[in-house]
Structure 1
Amino acid sequence: MPRLTRAESQARTRARLLEVAGELFLRDGYATTSLEKVADAAGYTRGAVYSNFRNKDELCMAVLDEIRARRVEDILAILRADTLEERVHLFEVWAEQVVGDPGWTRLELEFGVQASADETLREELATRIVALCDLIAQGVKSFEDTDGINLRMPADQIGVAMLSLGVGLGVFRSVEPKLPIGALVNTLRVLVGIPVQS
């Protein structure tokens, strides 16, 4: 087997650190997970962690970026469905599985509190939140463009409303998983102007 280049070795180390950090952050939360724990669990030294990430905040942001990127891929796949009704149905199935994931929800909340106390970190997180709202807005705008529906409010406001409702419902569902996802799905239906399902 050929020896890895330095760049390949660094990329492999970084990927492993992200994988292990993700597992620990999701299982134990932000506050409890230390860089030492990540290094030990990944089989590396603290130096390996610090050569890839400035600090725990940067590592956690990278973990959350990866989680959100997977969620965005899911949503983009849903938007490729043929009909509006099929897209809404697939969104409902996805939301039932994802909204309220206890580890992810707790990590987002803990990290949000952490970020609010640090101006630079807060700005980085704010940029990501705005990008998510914009992505949702583009998605619902595509309903108007491809399906000929009339949105009930501007797409950018729908983006903010849907992300806010999804996060809020996610927090509550992480405590009580039986809360119905229908409130989120039917809000989407109302906002894009299609009939509500009971």
Structure 2
Amino acid sequence: MARLTRSESQARTRAHLVATARDLFLADGYAATSLEKVADEAGYSKGAVYSNFKNKKELCLEVLGLIHATKGQEIAEALGGGDTMEERLEAFQAWAEKTLGDVGWTMLEFELIVLSRHDPELRDALTATLGVAREITVTLLKSFTDSLGVVLPVPAEDAAGSILSLGVGLGIQRAIDPTISARVVTDNLRVLLAVSQPSEL
């Protein structure tokens, strides 16, 4: 087996640290997770953490980016898997019921939002993270409607914004009361599709 180069070894260490931090942040929250704890859990020195991340905020923001990318992939698989539109919407609905309101993910995001009140740098970083999440949502929605051969009645950016806003708000509610249904998000998408027009080939 070929020996890893220095850059490959560094990339592997960084990925391991992010994966370990993700598990700890989701399980215990931001405040309760120290960089020392991440290092110990991952089997590295604290210096290895600081050689990859300047502080805990930077590490957590990378964790959020990983979570958003993972959730985006899950949604893409749900919306692209069925033979009919209804099957694909039901798969998306199943994902929403399972995922929206996940306590670890929802509370981690909410914890950072609260901290950003007095931290302009963190607020700017979260704004950028939200922008990436919005771009992912737009891409997923465009791919879905293109595959159906329809054009939405509003710009994809506006439609994606409404879906993302519903998802975020509903996620907070469901983190408190998981008995609340996530169907409103899917129903919103159904309404948009019902008033869509066939695309011109």
Tell me how far apart the structure 1 counterparts of residues 134 and 8 of structure 2 sit (CA, whole Å).
35
Bigger CA drift: 125-134 or 162-171? 125-134
Equivalences for residues 33-182 of structure 1 within 5 A: 33-81=33-81, 82-149=83-150, 151-182=152-183
TM-score (ref. length: structure 1)? 0.86
Post-superposition offset of 1:156? 1.5
Gaps in structure 1 of 5+ consecutive residues:
none
Segments of 4+ moved more than 4 angstroms: none
Identity %: 49
Query: Residue 51 of structure 2 aligns to a residue in which SS?
Result: helix
Whether contact under 8 Å (2:39, 2:49) holds in the other structure is: yes
Q: Which moved more, 1:169-178 or 1:149-158?
A: 149-158
Instruction: Please give the secondary structure, in 2, of the residue aligned with 1:61.
Output: helix
Q: Deviations over 1:25-81 (max 9, x none)?
A: 001101111111111222221111000101001100111111111111112223434
Q: Give 5+ residue unaligned stretches, structure 2.
A: 196-201
* SS of the residue 1:178 aligns to: coil
Distance of aligned partners of 1:13 and 1:178 in 2 relative to their CA distance in 1, 3 Å threshold: same
CA contact (8 A) 1:84 1:143 kept: no
The answer to whether the Cα contact below 8 Å between 2:72 and 2:137 also exists between their aligned partners in 1 is: no
Deviation of residue 5 (structure 1)?
2.9
Moved more, 134-143 or 14-23: 134-143
Deviates more, 1:11-20 or 1:151-160: 151-160
After TM superposition, the score normalised by the length of structure 2 is 0.85
Give the superposed CA RMSD: 2.1
